[in-house]
């Protein structure tokens, strides 16, 4: 992965969006906490400083050592980064009279600046800060202003250092992608070589070198991530790959057999293991979402430990971990807070002697799909909605019982089959049903009922880092609601979730 861009995370929830925009330019990038980034910077061609919820004037504000970066590598400082450079380099940052948040328009752009090539005056940008730069740092040159912010963008003479007080990565910054392209491609001269075919070629070579003749066991889920990981590993090590598909008792209706059938003819060595009773027994009485996730992760590892011992001399456990899993599981002072734990992030327990290999660890979901397409994987499989590793356990709020699982499997089947029959499935990024821990009063025939409530969730997204609810047709929602209540015993009310991410997550737990 040569020609990297290093992104330093100061805690902004927009940091992942910066990475997405850079990747869209076919440029590979990595996110690191501001206080724990690589000491060897030789692989990097440019650095981006992200935003932060902190004020640079606060005592506990993130304070990175940039001595090995500034003036040595092209650097773009965004929002907090721009204020940080000003505050600690001879400029002045002060509290704004009013919080500058939301849409603004550039009212001045310095002529003949490469950073603003193709960007017109009055271009809309997105502000998100309560401080503002009142004086530029030493050798700072103003590049752009808005009506309310004089120093919306600046550069530092004698360095390839640029700084902006707005967020170019968000959709609301109309020419934000163009500015990032100008900086990375025209100013920093980073080659645009990060393509699906290049990734496959590099990763297969890397896997061959790392794994040699070792045996690898891989957990297949039937989803996009594990399937693409399996095909990559199969290309690298062939018969030394042993795929295991575990039924944790929390899959969709009939999914265990359907997935096993799906892999026939793909040339993969797949074994199905039905461990549903084991998982449900371990989950009995547990209501806390994090405890559910960790319990499933532990049992998942235990099942794999049992199965790997059957195969002689297995050295590696392969996982379909992708970059959002890694990012959302990071928790350090300052950078983005932990949203939730992921069952396949964080290593293995000491008793398990397998090493981990994660071919997709640095890819976002849409990138995984493009890699899968370059590998010739069936488009229908690649278009499958994401499904959480903990399965239906995090769509059953409260404790897990076999009866609740049965209800939700039946409801989910009605919903997903309905999306497909109405031609809506491919217009939705992810959809599912949630069994709520409340009963509601209803009337069926002439009798009073007191039964379960179901929430339906359908979102559109690119990679799951942000998402918005889908405006499904009222006629469809009416039909699905009627079908669920009439066909699934124990449910008498259906609601539709119209929350976006953020502030809500896609899953309810």
Which amino acids are annotated as binding site for ATP, given as ranges?
Answer: 221-227
Transcribe 251-270 into DSSP letters. Answer: SPTTHHHHHHHHTTTTT--E
Q: Would residue 307 show up in a list of annotated catalytic residues for this protein?
A: no
**Taking Cα atoms as reference points, which of 48, 51, 50, 177 lies closest to residue 123?**
177
List binding-site positions: 221-227
Q: Which of 3, 87, 167, 342 is catalytic?
A: 167
Name the strand (E) or helix (H) holding 24: helix 15-24
Q: Would residue 129 show up in a list of annotated catalytic residues for this protein?
A: no
Q: Collapse the DSSP code of 107 into the 3-class scheme (helix H, G, I; strand E, B; otherwise coil) and give the result.
A: strand
Transcribe 130-167 into DSSP letters. Answer: EEEEEEPPTTEEEEEEESS-S-SEEEETTTTEEEESB-
**Taking Cα atoms as reference points, which of 452, 211, 158 lies closest to residue 318?**
211
Q: How many residues does the chain have?
A: 509
Q: Report the distance separating Cα 325 and Cα 203, nearest Å.
A: 19
The structure tokens listed for 104 are 């603004």
Beta strands in 214-267 (DSSP E): 215-220, 241-247
Q: Report the distance separating Cα 354 and Cα 245, nearest Å.
A: 18
CA distances from 158 to 110, 119, 133, 161, 252 (A): 18, 24, 21, 9, 60
Q: 238: which residues sit within 8 A by CB, 6+ positions away?
A: none
Strand partners, 493: 453
Q: Which of 79, 243, 282, 343 is catalytic?
A: 79
Tell me the HSE value of 122 on the side-chain side, using a 13 A CA sphere: 0
Q: Report the distance separating Cα 387 and Cα 389, nearest Å.
A: 7
User: Cα Rg for the chain, rounded, in angstroms?
Assistant: 25
Q: 214: which residues sit within 8 A by CB, 6+ positions away?
A: 237, 240, 315, 316
Q: Which of 87, 129, 150, 169 is catalytic?
A: 169
Q: Report the distance separating Cα 238 and Cα 307, nearest Å.
A: 19
Q: Would residue 342 show up in a list of annotated catalytic residues for this protein?
A: no
Angle at the Cα of 37 (from 31 to 39), degrees rounded to 5? Answer: 135
The structure tokens listed for 50 are 């992200």
The full 3-state SS of 489-503, as one line of letters, equals CCEEEEEECCCCECC
Residues known to be catalytic? 79, 167, 169
């Amino acid at each position: 992965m040569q020609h990297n861009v290093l992104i330093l995370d100061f805690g902004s929830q927009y940091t992942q969006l910066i990475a997405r925009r850079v990747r869209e330019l076919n440029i590979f990038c990595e996110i690191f906490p501001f206080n724990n980034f690589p000491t060897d910077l030789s692989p990097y061609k440019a650095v981006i400083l992200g935003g932060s919820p902190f004020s640079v004037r606060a005592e506990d504000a993130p304070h990175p050592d940039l001595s090995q970066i500034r003036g040595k590598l092209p650097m773009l400082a965004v929002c907090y980064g721009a204020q940080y450079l000003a505050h600690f380099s001879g400029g002045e940052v002060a509290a704004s009279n009013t919080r500058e948040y939301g849409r603004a328009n550039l009212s001045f752009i310095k002529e003949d600046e490469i950073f603003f090539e193709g960007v017109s005056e009055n271009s809309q940008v997105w502000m998100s800060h309560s401080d503002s730069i009142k004086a530029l740092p030493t050798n700072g040159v103003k590049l752009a202003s808005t009506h309310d912010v004089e120093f919306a963008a600046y550069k530092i003479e004698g360095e390839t250092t640029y700084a902006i007080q707005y967020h170019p990565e968000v959709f609301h910054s109309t020419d934000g992608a163009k500015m990032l392209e100008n900086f990375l491609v025209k100013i920093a001269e980073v080659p645009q070589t990060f393509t699906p075919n290049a990734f496959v070629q590099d990763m297969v070579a890397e896997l061959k070198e790392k794994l040699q003749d070792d045996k690898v066991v891989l957990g297949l889920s039937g989803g996009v991530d594990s399937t693409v990981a399996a095909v990559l590993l199969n290309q690298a090590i062939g018969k030394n790959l042993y795929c295991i598909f575990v039924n944790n008792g929390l899959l969709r209706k009939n999914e265990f057999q359907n997935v096993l059938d799906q892999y026939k003819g793909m040339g993969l060595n797949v074994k199905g293991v039905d461990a549903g009773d084991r998982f449900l027994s371990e989950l009995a009485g547990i209501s806390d979402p994090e405890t559910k996730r960790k319990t499933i992760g532990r049992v998942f590892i235990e099942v794999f430990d049992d199965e790997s011992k059957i195969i002689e001399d297995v050295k590696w456990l392969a996982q379909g971990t992708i970059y959002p899993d890694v990012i959302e599981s990071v928790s350090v002072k300052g950078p983005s807070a932990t949203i939730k734990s992921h069952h396949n992030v964080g290593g293995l327990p000491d008793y398990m002697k397998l090493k981990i290999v994660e071919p997709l660890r640095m890819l976002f979901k849409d990138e995984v799909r493009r890699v899968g397409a370059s590998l010739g994987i069936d488009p229908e499989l690649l278009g499958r909605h994401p499904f959480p590793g903990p399965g239906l356990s995090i769509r059953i709020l409260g404790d897990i019982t076999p009866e609740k699982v049965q209800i939700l499997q039946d409801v989910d089947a009605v919903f997903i089959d309905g999306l497909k029959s109405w031609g809506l499935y491919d217009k939705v990024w992810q959809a599912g049903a949630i069994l709520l821990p409340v009963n509601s009063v209803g009337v069926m025939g002439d009798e009073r009922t007191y039964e379960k409530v179901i929430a339906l969730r359908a979102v559109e997204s690119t990679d799951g880092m942000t998402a918005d609810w889908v405006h499904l047709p009222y006629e469809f929602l009416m039909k699905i609601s009627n079908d669920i209540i009439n066909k699934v015993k124990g449910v008498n009310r259906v609601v539709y979730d119209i929350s976006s991410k953020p502030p809500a997550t896609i899953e309810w737990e």
